[in-house]
């Protein structure tokens, strides 16, 4: 448990510490399997606020990768090259 945390958060800290080591994001599994053109297109879409997370999720599905809109949003906010 994380010392100095407010009481009542113990269950959350235990769950966080119990996550699987080496867990990777979808992008670390998917991006290496994409063509250079697909990676470029995906990065351009990620940087375009007019294209929704859902739309990117659908296109990834068309390419053979099941990625939820929420996971796309996380990637866009934290990891996508713009």
Rounded to an integer, what distance in angstroms lies between the CA atom of residue 31 and that of residue 8? 39
**13 inside domain:** no
Q: Would you state the pLDDT for residue 28?
A: 87
In a domain, 18, yes or no: no
- Structural domain total, the chain: 1
Alpha carbon distances (Å) from 18 to 8, 9, 11, 22, 28: 17, 14, 11, 12, 21
Q: Residue 43: which pLDDT band, with cuts at 50, 70 and 90?
A: very high
Confidence tier at 1 by pLDDT (50, 70, 90): very low
Looking at the domain assignment, is residue 48 inside a domain? yes
In a domain, residue 7? The reply is no
* Residue span of the structural domain in which 43 resides: 26-78
Helices (H), the chain: 10-17, 26-30, 36-46, 53-62, 69-78
* pLDDT higher than threshold 60 for residue 5: no
Whether residue 19 lies inside any domain: the answer is no
Q: Is residue 9 part of a domain?
A: no
Answer for the pair 33, 14: CB distance below 8 angstroms, yes or no.
no
> Which tens digit of pLDDT belongs to each residue from 44-69?
999 999 999 999 999 999 999 999 99
Does this model's pTM top 0.85? My answer is no
């Amino acid at each position: 448990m994380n010392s100095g945390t407010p009481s009542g958060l113990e269950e959350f800290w235990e769950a966080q510490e119990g996550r699987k080591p080496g867990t990777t994001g979808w992008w670390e599994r998917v991006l290496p399997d994409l063509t250079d053109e697909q990676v470029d297109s995906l990065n351009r879409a990620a940087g375009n606020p007019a294209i929704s997370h859902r739309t990117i999720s659908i296109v990834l599905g068309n390419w053979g990768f099941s990625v939820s809109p929420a996971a796309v949003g996380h990637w866009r906010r934290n990891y996508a090259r713009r």
